[in-house]
Amino acid sequence: MVVASPSPTHPEKVQFIELPIIDLSAERSKVINLVIKACEEYGFFEVINHGVSHDIITRMEEQGLGFFAKPLGDKQKAGPATPFGYGCKNIGFNGTNSLSIVERSYAISNDPKMFSSAVNGYVEAVTGLACEILELMAEGLRVQDSSVFSKMIKDVDNDSIFRLNHYPPILCNNNNNNKDPSFLANKVGFGEHTDPQILTILKSNDVGGLQVKSQVDDGDHGVWVPVPPHPTAFCVNVGDILQAMTNGRFMSVRHRAMVTNTSKSRMSMAYFGAPPLDTCLTPPIELVTPRKPLLYRPFTWDEYKKASHSLRLGDSRLHLFKAT
């Protein structure tokens, strides 16, 4: 469960820009062009007609919301999140290892078989979706091996994560006497950050809150773009590793979750695709040229993960791996 943080201390601009919504059932070359353009211009996009069934999504939502509806004491029996379990403020459950899911399910659900089945079914489906998107990206970048990105998360030793984040609604404080919606719009649920992994596949219930920092310059603070919830779409975003492996062509963009609703909680279901810890990460040779020299030195996911954990949530990380 994630609890709202204090409001930002400096003035912030919110700009309403529609992120690309890409129909994956459209003609392949058109889809590829749209995906490449979205990764270069926004670092975020949404996909529809993605092949993940409504039943798989609904089962996972029901199991997740059922867990978060329990009393705090019951939820704490599933913790701590080290790394598989329940945590308040830090992170919800995570981990795509099927054995850990089964083991934790006994503390998470009254029907552990149903819970583990829902999680494993959902993770399998979104992993397939992530692989499909990564292969479209490789093809669009004209990389000879179209599996260069996807094979890392297909690897049996992949370090991918599945996480449920729950944002309880904020009730107005009588002392503040606040009926102004802008008071609630400025509560940070999960602070500004980039995702360190390769690719994130996100689905939330019908409650807004996700904001993406626009690449349009606005002094030092940037412009925040709200992403309204879409009833059927998955939100996809580039992670730090993919920025490094595309030699900076794709952008890993800062984003955050805001608490914007006083009557209904928000739950997000996030799959973070990551390679095995010992994977050496460097761009395919097609993406390094005399005109576009290597931006980041080769590094392993283990190195990058440790660097990420040593920094604060909002700190930049990729600059530590710049090629000299």
CATH code (residue 243): 2.60.120.330
Confirm whether 4 is domain-assigned. no
pLDDT digits (tens, 9 = 90+) for 233-277: 999 999 999 999 999 999 999 988 887 655 778 888 999 999 999
Confirm whether 262 is domain-assigned. yes
pLDDT-derived band at 224 (thresholds 50, 70, 90) equals confident
Give the total number of structural domains in the chain.
1
Indicate whether 178 pLDDT > 60.
Answer: no
Q: Minimum mean pLDDT among 194-198, 207-211, 295-299, 316-320: which range? A: 207-211
In angstroms, the CA 48 to CA 37 distance is: 17
pLDDT of amino acid 174? 43
* Helix spans in 169-237 (H): 181-185
pLDDT digits (tens, 9 = 90+) for 32-64: 999 999 999 999 999 999 999 999 999 999 988
pLDDT-derived band at 2 (thresholds 50, 70, 90) equals very low
pLDDT of amino acid 92? 36
Confirm whether 15 is domain-assigned. no
**Percentage of residues of the chain with pLDDT beyond 90:** 51
In angstroms, the CA 194 to CA 26 distance is: 29
* Helix spans in the chain (H): 28-41, 54-68, 72-76, 98-108, 112-140, 150-154, 181-185, 240-245, 301-309
In angstroms, the CA 86 to CA 318 distance is: 29
pLDDT digits (tens, 9 = 90+) for 124-171: 999 999 999 999 999 999 999 999 999 999 999 999 999 988 887 765
* Measured CA distances, 89 to 120, 172, 191, 266, 306 (Å): 25, 20, 11, 14, 21
pLDDT of amino acid 43? 94
Q: Which residues does 220 contact at the CB level (< 8 Å), separation at least 6?
A: none
In angstroms, the CA 144 to CA 245 distance is: 14
pLDDT of amino acid 281? 97
Instruction: Report the candidate in 5, 20, 13 with the shortest Cα–Cα distance to residue 238.
Output: 20
pLDDT of amino acid 274? 97
Q: Are 272 and 161 in contact (CB under 8 A)?
A: yes
Q: Is 181 helix (H, G, I), strand (E, B) or coil?
A: helix
In angstroms, the CA 309 to CA 317 distance is: 10
Residues 249, 254, 266, 312: which is the catalytic one? 266
- Catalogue the long-range contacts made by 52-57 (C-beta closer than 8 Å, 24 or more residues apart): 52/125, 52/126, 52/129, 52/234, 53/125, 54/232, 56/121, 56/122, 56/125, 57/122, 57/203
Confirm whether 111 is domain-assigned. yes
pLDDT digits (tens, 9 = 90+) for 95-133: 444 444 455 555 555 667 888 889 999 999 999 999 999
pLDDT of amino acid 29? 97
Q: Which residues is 296 bridged to in the sheet?
A: 322
pLDDT-derived band at 93 (thresholds 50, 70, 90) equals very low
Confirm whether 2 is domain-assigned. no
Average pLDDT, stretch 67-81?
Answer: 72
Indicate whether 312 pLDDT > 60.
Answer: yes
Q: Are 305 and 277 in contact (CB under 8 A)?
A: yes
Confirm whether 272 is domain-assigned. yes
Q: Which residues is 271 bridged to in the sheet?
A: 162, 201
- Concerning whether 266 is annotated as a catalytic residue, the answer is yes
Confirm whether 3 is domain-assigned. no
pLDDT of amino acid 192? 85
In angstroms, the CA 178 to CA 181 distance is: 8
pLDDT of amino acid 171? 56
Indicate whether 9 pLDDT > 80.
Answer: no
Average pLDDT, stretch 175-201?
Answer: 69
pLDDT of amino acid 90? 40
Mean pLDDT score of the chain, rounded to an integer?
82
Confirm whether 192 is domain-assigned. yes
| Domain around 218 | 21-321
pLDDT of amino acid 81? 59
In angstroms, the CA 276 to CA 155 distance is: 7
